[in-house]
Structures are given as C-alpha cells and as structure tokens.
C-alpha cells in the first residue's frame, strides 16, 4: 500500500507498507523532508512496524514521537503528517496527479445559479460522470451567501441588502456569511472524489485542499497560511474563507467533496457592516478601519488586477497537476436551473433557518 501527504507549508511524506493480518508490516517512510540524525528514519519505521491497522492518526503520531532519538530535528515533516500518510495508505487514498483535472471558467452567473452548480457538478463527480473540477466563479450580481445552518435574521439585515441591490442566497455547505461584490471577490470551487481526502480528518482536508492556492499566492509574493478551521491568512489579515460539503453518489457508495473558497480582492467595509449583522457585533466600537484590517484585500497585497490574480492561480494549478479547459454541459446547466427554481431561488430554502 502506498500513501502520500504533503504537510501544509512543509514537505511531501511518502509511506509504503503492507497490511498483514491487520498489522502494519514492511513500513518505509520517505520524502523530500529534512531529518537529523540519520538513524531517526529507522526509528520512525520501527515505531510503525507491527501497529494495528485500526490505530488512529493520533496514536500513530504518539508512537513515532516516543521512538525518535533524543534531540531529533524534523524540518518539513511532523509526526502528525507521518501518521496521516499511513492512514492515507491504508485508506488507499488517491493523489492529485491521479486525475485529469478540468477547468470551468464561464461568464458571470446569478448567485442562485452558482449555488446550484456547486451541488450539480459535485454530484456529477460523485457519480463518475465528470472529472475532478476546478470552477472559477464570475459573479453576475452582488450577494450575501449564508451558510447552510446560519440564521438568516441573525446574520443579514435584509432591508440593507435590498437597498444595496444585494441578493441573499443560502449554500449547501456550512460556515459563515460571505459578502460578495463582483469586482471585489475571487471565488472558486473544487469538486473532487472523496478518495482524494481519504485518511484525512475533516480539519486536515481543508488544509490539504487549500495547499495549492497557498503556493499560488506565494508565487505572487504573498506569504499565506492555512488557519484552522477554514481561513487563509497573512500577517496583515485574513484573505479568504473556505467551506465544504460531502455529496454521496447515486450508488450510495461513491462520494465527492465540494470545497469552495471566497477570497477578498477588495472590500467596501462600510457597506459590509450595513448588511452583515454579525460583522457589526464583532467589530462593535472598532470602526470601519478595523473591518478593513480584519479582511485584508488581495488588491492591496499584490497590486495586481483581479483578472491577473485569477490567471496566475489557474496557471499555478495547471503547472502542479495539469488542467484542461472544459465547460458546463447542457444537461448539467438544465439540472442547475431546475434547482434554482425549486430550491436555491426560493424563499423557503433561503429562510429555512430563520
């Protein structure tokens, strides 16, 4: 069995092993990390040898920690990362490079249609009818998008949203509210087979699926990191927030993961504070300047046009994993439009949690 895991902000860990009668055998840990002293690698392999295949990641990490020679130095890897690589090997997890990735980047669409497309495209991946997909959104209207379980009345001043011409929609994933204006926001979705995150905890899957965009930002001169549970941040403020949803395929066995991220290119903090109630409470007494520091826009950090940032992100993904330009099929679009009419465009769905 073979498992790989790239430590967020670190190096690649590769584990090869056999499962013999429920025990780990012939364990070999490798990678492009740095480790001192040399014999520490043998201690790591020895610590994992003979462990039960049911051992969870926390217990595997503890075994490795206890076996490391005193004064060992690890750079680019962690005992937790080693444990995750073992669990991914046992789960027969797939890797980014195992797939032919498709890019969807189409003209602006309504907020409700974007919500529906996320559900439809991820379900198509789960069913095996669509390859893993990176979809870059273009917004057709300003909007507030609330999480699946958020209270509409607690989160949004609907009268203020109406005054500013903002549509309020609810997405299928959890998490917090998104304040979106077309020229000020960069949003993308990953629709991936669940096997890509096999062996990862829910929290680890966020970091794993965000790692490529951290590299893209780094290429633009931005030192960014994953901040649990679902943020991307720099030392001058938050850049983005992520959310996820698992979708089961029609056979009940296959599944896919929707991972979508909204990044702030620019921000109208005054308008945001009028529309989002929770923003008012968090920033009470701190003023608009505090809102701008809380979310630090990419425009200010890069000096690049929004379109240039998107192009560089796509180029970075393509260089890492390959990416073929595709599109939404007529059948997928028809299904999404049906969901707009019956679900995402309806008040019953939007206000399902008052």
Q: Please, what is the angle between helix 79-90 and helix 57-67, to 10°?
A: 130
pLDDT per residue rounded down to tens, the chain (354 residues)? 999 999 988 899 999 999 999 999 999 999 999 999 999 999 999 999 999 999 999 999 999 999 999 999 999 999 999 999 999 999 999 999 999 999 999 999 999 999 999 999 999 999 999 999 999 999 999 999 999 999 999 999 999 999 999 999 999 999 999 999 999 999 999 999 999 999 999 889 999 999 999 999 999 999 999 898 899 999 888 899 999 999 998 888 789 999 999 999 998 989 999 999 975 545 444 343 444 445 668 998 899 999 999 999 999 999 999 999 999 999 999 999 999 999 999 999 999 999
3-state SS, the chain, equals CEEEEECCCCCEEEEEEEEECCEEEEEEEEECCEEECCCHHHHHHHHHCCCECCCCHHHHHHHHHHHCCCCCEEECCCHHHHHHHHHHHHCCCCCHHHCCCEEEECCCECHHHHHHHHHHHHHHHHHCCCCCEEEECCECCCEEEECCCCCHHHHECHHHHHHCCCEEEECCCCCCCEEECHHHEEEEEEEEEHHHHCCCCHHHHHHHHHHHHHHHHHHCCCCCEEECCCEEEECCEEEEEEEEEEEECCCCCCEEEEEEEEEECCCCHHHHHHHEHHHHHHCCCCHHHHHHHHECCHHHHHCCCHHHHHHHHHHHHHHHHCCEECCCCHHHHHHHHHHHHHHHCCHHHHCCCC
Distance CA 128, CA 333 (A): 17
* Token pair of 6 as six digits: 């790239």
The pLDDT of residue 39? 96
The pLDDT of residue 102? 98
The pLDDT of residue 264? 94
Distance CA 111, CA 141 (A): 7
The pLDDT of residue 291? 45
Distance CA 266, CA 179 (A): 11
The pLDDT of residue 80? 96
């Amino acid at each position: 069995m073979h498992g790989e895991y790239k430590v967020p902000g670190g190096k690649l860990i590769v584990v090869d092993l056999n499962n013999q009668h429920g025990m780990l055998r012939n364990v070999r840990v490798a990678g492009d990390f740095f480790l001192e002293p040399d014999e520490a690698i043998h201690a790591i392999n020895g610590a994992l040898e003979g462990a039960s295949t049911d051992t969870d990641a926390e217990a595997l990490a503890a075994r490795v920690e206890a076996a490391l020679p005193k004064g060992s130095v690890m750079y680019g890897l962690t005992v937790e990362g080693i444990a995750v690589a073992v669990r991914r090997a046992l789960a027969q997890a797939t890797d980014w490079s195992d797939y032919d990735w498709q890019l969807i980047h189409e003209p602006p669409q309504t907020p409700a249609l974007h919500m529906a497309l996320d559900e439809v495209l991820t379900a198509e991946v789960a069913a095996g009818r669509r390859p893993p997909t990176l979809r870059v959104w273009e917004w057709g209207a300003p909007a507030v998008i609330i999480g699946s379980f958020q209270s509409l009345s607690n989160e949004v001043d609907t009268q203020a949203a109406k005054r500013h011409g903002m549509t309020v929609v609810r997405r299928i994933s959890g998490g917090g509210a998104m304040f979106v204006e077309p020229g000020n926001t960069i949003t993308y979705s990953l629709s991936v087979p669940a096997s890509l995150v096999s062996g990862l905890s829910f929290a680890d899957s966020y970091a794993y699926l965000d790692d490529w965009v951290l590299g893209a930002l780094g290429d633009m001169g931005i030192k960014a990191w994953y901040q649990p549970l679902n943020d991307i941040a720099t030392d001058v403020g938050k850049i983005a927030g992520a959310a996820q949803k698992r979708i089961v395929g029609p056979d009940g066995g296959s599944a896919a993961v929707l991972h979508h991220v909204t990044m702030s290119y620019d921000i109208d903090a005054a308008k945001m504070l009028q529309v989002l109630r929770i923003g008012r409470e968090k920033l009470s007494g701190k003023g608009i300047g505090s809102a701008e520091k809380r979310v630090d826009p990419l425009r200010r950090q890069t000096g690049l046009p929004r379109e240039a940032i998107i192009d560089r992100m796509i180029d970075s993904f393509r260089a890492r994993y390959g990416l073929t330009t595709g599109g939404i099929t007529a059948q997928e679009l028809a299904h999404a439009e049906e969901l707009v009419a019956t679900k995402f465009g309806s008040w019953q769905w939007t206000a399902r949690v008052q």
